[in-house]
Structure 1
Amino acid sequence: MSAILDIQNLSVSFGDKEVVSQLSLSLEAGKTTAIVGESGSGKSVTSLAIMGLLRASIAADQLSFQGINLLSISEEEHRKLRGSGMAMIFQEPMTALNPSMRCGDQVAEIILQHTNLNRKEAMERALELFKEVQIPNPAEKLKAWPHEMSGGQRQRVMIAMALACSPQLLIADEPTTALDVTVQKEILKLINDLKTKRNMAVLFITHDLGVVAEVADDVLVMYRGQMKEFGTVDQVLYHSKDAYTQGLLECRPPLENRPKRLTTVADVMEKRTVNRQEVHSDFQRIEKQDPLLEIDNLEKWFPAGKTSLFGTAEVYKAVNQVSVKLYPGETLGLVGESGCGKSTLSRCLVHLHEANAGEIRWKGKDITHAKGKELRALRKEIQMIFQDPFASLNPRSNVSQILTEPMLVHGLFKGQRKERAKYLLKRVGLSTEALHKYPHEFSGGQRQRIGIARALAVEPELLICDESVSALDVSVQAQVLNLLNELKEEFGFSYLFISHDLSVVKYMSDHLMVMRAGLLEEYGRAEEVYKNPTSAYTAKLIESIPKINS
């Protein structure tokens, strides 16, 4: 069978910097090839070069799509191929979708651009596509704006747009990275089903080898622009020969045990001896203590946008009668899908939201309505590490200012703030040279380390990690999780660790709570919740975790 896509010795350069070097692959109809690697490995650059969306120097012995030489065609010819012959699903649908256009109009726009259908026919075709990608209430959702859709629904709209003109090649660039495990499973199944039904070739880009095991026929592993390994899923995942591939496989948090330290890619590539000692939570010690934090029937409401016949505003209970305890020195894991109330609960604890009902007690004292000096003192003791380190760091401040500002606000370390900032940087694994740099000069993992250092600056007793590793590659994620555990051991603080990734939460946690639609679905010791869930919803979350079967 002839290849839909044929790449031989592709190289891509920005100025003097070569970011993809001598890459070769071919892809047939009805097959999925996954490109795997960390951020900066050249995965997305390769896909953009195929799509003709790159302003760079591109050279290849062969770069052809259905026999068409992509290097010799004009920009207009390449534009006509996009959408009709080849299409792309991007990582972040909220960014990729036009916020000023209704979702149905965005799909219809593609159809009108590449076919002879009129607007009415294009909207009918868009409705068919919404049904095909299983968007609930498709006729209603055609009229919805992107912000009115959930993350999974927005990604389905992106898939509908990509399929609008029946392309022969579908490029999916990290299409499930930002999604919950249950939604991720649905999207992966959908892409697989559509590939089979339409006999498409799929180029699937990801950093998660667990996802690769679910979708791919062949796997290409990239590292710093070069191909490290290529073969079938069985060859690469179960009989890998390259140290980098083995490192990617080993740095994933294991589900069957809980090592004290996760293996990193660097450990494997540099052949370091890794201590695989397991850790077990000391529940006798933990549960005998007085709770550090107690949440009792907590509720947080938001207006639902509707008013009843008698003028009473309806409310949506984002957090609904949640009760839980967090003990000194422990990690309490909080898991659930987007919209379940995880982040709202954490923001109530630090008074970024004010609770509507219930009680929050800190060291036995009611802090539900803390204000003024009491609230400022509380914020020194409870700090947050946010999901997006780029958005949570001031782009106009250098690292020295970012780290010393909390000390200044709370009147700590007078005359020693610069030295304290240097110590914190070293402790999170960064050079003191970083003090005079700005956030945009760092990688995602480095920015998250700066966010951790900032949280540590005021010596808190509780750190709330709100999806703090969700945006990171699995290799960088392992490094940050190791760092968080080392810091907890050294400084003796507690964590509220929030994530939609149950494998990460299970690895980090002593106790585990599961939230769904604002309610506490399940609570217990992490290992017991994972092995014997009492809730069908928790069991569904566990079953949805992408696994590489040994």
Structure 2
Amino acid sequence: MDEALVKIRDLRVSFGRGDAKTRILKGIDIDLANGEILGIIGESGSGKTMTGLSLLRLLPQTAHVEAVKMFFAGEELQQKSGGEFDALRGVQLAMVFQDPVGSFNPCKTIGWHFAQVLRRVGETGELRDKSVQLLRDVGVKRAEETMFLYPHQLSGGMLQRALIALVLALRPKLIVADEPTTNLDKIVEKQVLDLFLSLQRRLGASVIFVTHDMPVAASFCHRIAVMNAGEIVEVGETAQIFGRPRHPYTRRLIDTALKLAGANGRPKENQSHRARQAARFAEEPLYRVRDLTISFPHSNRHGSFRALDGVSFDVMPGEILGILGESGSGKTTLGRSLLRLYEPAGGRIEYRGRDITHERERSLRSIRREMQMVFQDPGGSFSPRRTMGQALREALAMARHPRAELRRRAVSLLERVGLTAEHGDRYAHELSGGQLQRVAIARAIALEPRVIVADEAVSKLDVSVRAEILTLLGDVQREIGMAIIFITHDLDVARYICDRIAVMYHGKLLEIGHTEEIFTRPAAGYTQSLLGTHQNLAKLIGAVA
């Protein structure tokens, strides 16, 4: 191994003071060689993201860093002044954040962001052409149109691609990538990983790759560090970690991932499940959607583009309908349209026999409690001024639970999604992405709705918590008979939990059918390509070992 580009010694980070102090990182040591890709895996809240933020001096002001030494290219980072460090960060040191929404100025177009970055690294000439090419490099097909859009007009996956393109424009020596492919479909994920590899080889760049995606870690990283409760419990070559794990925690992580994927994906359906499915289709649909069209105007006021183009389908009571497709295909737009968060440009939406296509906000209030959404970006769906407990008690109050029971019920909801009462006293910025997503799911089920639109609801969760949440959603769905519109790019998850699958591409619904039919006999060419990108973890482990 070449001389280390990055050395971290005894990194300890805590929050609070005195008896209330909580230690998040407990003596982290890391070596990263020139040109190396080091994967960091572990459950949400284990300290993966905090490690990357510490290296780039991006920790919250409430954090306390103790007795640490960090070196980059032989220079001690702790000795650098704020101005000296700023000259490194954003040029030689770059980060792809887990939450792409918070990385963009909501008042500026995507093109403006690219112009700022390209000027920072000394690019001149036709910046727009260079920006468009960068977007195309990360799989954005409508790159020219995207330049004129604002961040809120892009899906989470599209924003993540744009953020990766911005980082690649810097041509840094070190990239800290915090779940960079979480919001990407498998086709674009492969494109982005190939792009990372190309940059890393061309520039000799090093990558710290934080992920909970086991197939990505097994196929992409040179070495793996396993984190648990703020400590690195095991580190080694990828082949050793996945083929011959030494620590019990590592073995449990890998075993859970293998169990979730399964040898053939979804467990075989039993007789009672098939009977329930038949009964659902004997009922009236919960939703009837016919020729639905959603259009968004360009920021330059000339023309618009269709996010949804003539989409028609039904949602049955109590079913779990999966929506698959690449980022930007219209999955999120479709989910939000069902809750009438967008005004349709054409077509018809019926909910329980009621035409809600153009109903005004005031008249929608009577049915809004029956509809809940778990957003792709959990951080943006919580007030930064309210604790998680306050957010849950507010939802429970809307469900008209007695005031005296609100606190107890809020704690019960937290425990139901694998958290504790202590998490209820924290604010959004004090939780990891996975922990925030669990609170978002708890808040959604607090109202016992008839339908939940889950937009990448488990994409930010590690494999062990993902399995628990999928089981939870299935249990709640059966208990209260709610339907779930499950938007995802995770093929294993879709096969595991969904009754039917709808495949989206460029705003159109290509095909819809029962899960096993889609996975074993896909009709559309795009579906065949999408399924062809699936990385089987068991085979990857065999290959690297």
TM-score normalised to the size of structure 2?
0.79
Q: Aligned residue for 2:39?
A: 34
Q: What is the aligned length?
A: 514
Alpha carbons of structure 1 residues 58 and 450: separation in structure 2 relative to 1, 3 Å: closer
8 A contact 2:265–2:492 mirrored in 1: no
- Give yes or no for the alignment of 1:64 onto 2:71: yes
SS at match of 2:327: coil
Q: Aligned residue for 1:534?
A: 523
Deviations 1:232-254 (A, max 9, x none): 11111222122222232233331
8 A contact 1:298–1:319 mirrored in 2: no
Q: Aligned residue for 2:168?
A: 160
1:145 to partner: Cα distance: 7.1
Q: Aligned residue for 1:266?
A: none
Q: Aligned residue for 1:198?
A: 203
Letter in 1 for 2:73: Q
8 A contact 1:335–1:515 mirrored in 2: yes
Alpha carbons of structure 1 residues 281 and 90: separation in structure 2 relative to 1, 3 Å: farther
Alpha carbons of structure 1 residues 283 and 226: separation in structure 2 relative to 1, 3 Å: same
1:387, 1:173 → 2: CA distance?
Answer: 16
8 A contact 1:399–1:438 mirrored in 2: no
2:65, 2:51 → 1: CA distance?
Answer: 12
SS at match of 1:429: helix
| 2:120 maps to which of 105, 110, 113 | 110
8 A contact 1:38–1:223 mirrored in 2: yes
Deviations 1:14-60 (A, max 9, x none): 46654333333323233211122233333333334434555743535
1:338 to partner: Cα distance: 2.9
Taking the TM superposition and a 5 Å limit, the aligned residue runs for 1:5-154 are 5-7=5-7, 9-14=9-14, 17-53=22-58, 56-60=64-68, 63-82=70-89, 85-97=92-104, 100=108, 102-112=112-122, 120=124, 130=134, 133=137, 147=151, 150-154=158-162
Taking the TM superposition and a 5 Å limit, the aligned residue runs for 1:184-333 are 184-252=189-257, 253-254=260-261, 256-257=263-264, 282-288=273-279, 289-305=282-298, 316-333=305-322
Q: Aligned residue for 2:174?
A: 169
8 A contact 2:324–2:489 mirrored in 1: yes
8 A contact 2:287–2:349 mirrored in 1: yes
TM-score normalised to the size of structure 1?
0.79
2:38, 2:420 → 1: CA distance?
Answer: 42
- Looking at CA atoms only, which structure, 1 or 2, has the larger radius of gyration? 1
Letter in 1 for 2:238: V
Question: CA RMSD of the aligned region, Å?
Answer: 4.0
Alpha carbons of structure 1 residues 333 and 425: separation in structure 2 relative to 1, 3 Å: farther
Alpha carbons of structure 1 residues 392 and 123: separation in structure 2 relative to 1, 3 Å: closer
Alpha carbons of structure 1 residues 5 and 50: separation in structure 2 relative to 1, 3 Å: farther
Deviations 1:181-235 (A, max 9, x none): 3322211110111112223332222232222122111111111221111111111
Alpha carbons of structure 1 residues 111 and 323: separation in structure 2 relative to 1, 3 Å: closer
Letter in 1 for 2:277: I
Taking the TM superposition and a 5 Å limit, the aligned residue runs for 1:394-433 are 394=383, 395-396=385-386, 398-399=390-391, 401-408=393-400, 416=402, 418-419=404-405, 422-423=408-409, 425-426=411-412, 429=415
| 2:501 maps to which of 512, 528, 549 | 512
8 A contact 1:301–1:356 mirrored in 2: yes
Alpha carbons of structure 1 residues 47 and 444: separation in structure 2 relative to 1, 3 Å: closer
SS at match of 1:102: helix
Which structure has more relative contact order (CA 8 Å, sep 6+)? It is 2
Deviations 1:406-454 (A, max 9, x none): 224xxxx6xx464477457525625995798575476655554554444
Identity %: 32
Q: Aligned residue for 2:183?
A: 178
1:526, 1:510 → 2: CA distance?
Answer: 6
Letter in 2 for 1:106: Q
Identify unmatched segments of 5+ residues in structure 1.
Answer: 113-118, 261-276
Letter in 2 for 1:64: F
SS at match of 2:46: coil
8 A contact 1:428–1:452 mirrored in 2: no
2:147, 2:372 → 1: CA distance?
Answer: 41
